[in-house]
Structure 1
């Protein structure tokens, strides 16, 4: 499991600007959040720090009141992570859709801040976290990650530089083709360049890379 933020770091996260994710605090705390992938520094001076999609999702969790069950301790807060299709099966969580939506909105804001106002192209954070960024784009578009016994997308590193591999696992050939096509559409709409290739076993897979201007 990822290292959990300290109490001081959580205070900083909850105090972030709710619209932009701008953080204000000591340099040590800001550097620590950047090191955990919860914040990112703007490349231009004065190099302010902003919450990443994971940081924004964690902020939402921290600000969400615990359920009315005083006999039970509040659940442990985990850092948000987009589902790549390699996670174990888990029960449906009604909060998941909201967490994904918050993370995606945060990513669009991160694009606006670090891409000079452009939101239809991946930003530097996405280029540095290709698998997580592609998985978030797919999940935010409503595509289903693979789970045991069911079809879904699986995102992983590709042999080509600056690219990810996306395959649709499980199910018959025709549903797999539909799933692959849906993933391609979702990634293209999110600003990725996508090509389809045979996998050598009668199936198809996608290569996706962040689109550049």
Structure 2
């Protein structure tokens, strides 16, 4: 069985950027994580280090015996998908968090696409479809459904690489479609046969 990371390594992993997985630490700490397959060093300057899928799994896992009190759930950034029971407060601080997360995602696109393109989704977005689509919408200023009133809702679908986006009216739905297309997604409007509710079926564009 693979040994768990040391306390110091776990702190570096836990402090990784929540969107890009970019790491900060000493050269020795980062080299040790690379050796264990929990991080990789990007081949292009500035040669930053990022979590591998194995590193992400460790970061997202809840330790059986926390070494220190866990941070509250709202201390870690998460895009609003709409309809949350407990949603972060809106305002300038939230806007800054969303803007920072979106810029980090664009940088991840640049770093992980062979051609450095930022106009289409990357692997992280394909692995986190609902969160990625919601981030694109929230970063563009769309309001999610919540205590403040109606808004967009992003939900998973049985279809591979596709999410459903609901909105309270046609104009909002059209605006969400335009935003997702600008963010590198393909979006088409459909009608649910039973409820007649209109929704978008959106998927990340590959080219």
Using the size of structure 2 for normalisation, the TM-score is 0.68
1:145 Cα shift? 0.7
- Cα distance in 2 for residues equivalent to 1:43 and 1:21: 10
For the 8 Å contact 2:12–2:23, the answer to whether it is kept is no
After superposition, the C-alpha distances for 1:26-71 in whole angstroms (9 at most, x for unaligned) are: 4665799x6xxxxx757879x963379xx9xxxxxxxxxxxxxxxx
Among 191, 198, 201, the residue aligned to 1:204: 198
2:81 matches 1:84: yes
State the Cα distance separating 1:15 from its structure 2 match: 9.4
Measure, in 1, the Cα distance between the counterparts of 2:143 and 2:131: 15
2:106 counterpart (108, 124, 131): 108
Contact in 2 for aligned 1:108/1:119 (Cα 8 Å):
yes
Equivalent residue in structure 1 for 2:93, among 90, 95, 118: 95
Cross-structure match for 1:123? 122
Distance in 1 (CA, whole Å) between partners of 2:197 and 2:91 is 32
Q: How many residues align?
A: 172
2-structure distance, mates of 1:84, 1:15: 22
Q: Which runs of 5+ in 2 are unaligned?
A: 1-6, 57-70
C-alpha contact (below 8 Å) 1:168/1:205 kept by paired residues:
yes
Structure 1: which 5+ residue stretches go unaligned? 1-5, 35-39, 56-74, 170-175
1:129-160 CA deviation, whole Å, 9 max, x = no partner? Answer: 11110010000011111114721111111121
Counterpart Cα distance in 2 of 1:132 and 1:27: 30
Name the Cα RMSD after superposition: 3.7
Classify the secondary structure of the residue corresponding to 2:201. Answer: strand
Within 1, Cα distance between the matches of 2:131 and 2:153? 11
| CA distance in structure 2 between the aligned counterparts of 1:31 and 1:128, rounded to whole angstroms | 24
Q: Structure 1 residues 197, 29: CA separation in 2 closer, same or farther (over 3 Å shift)?
A: same
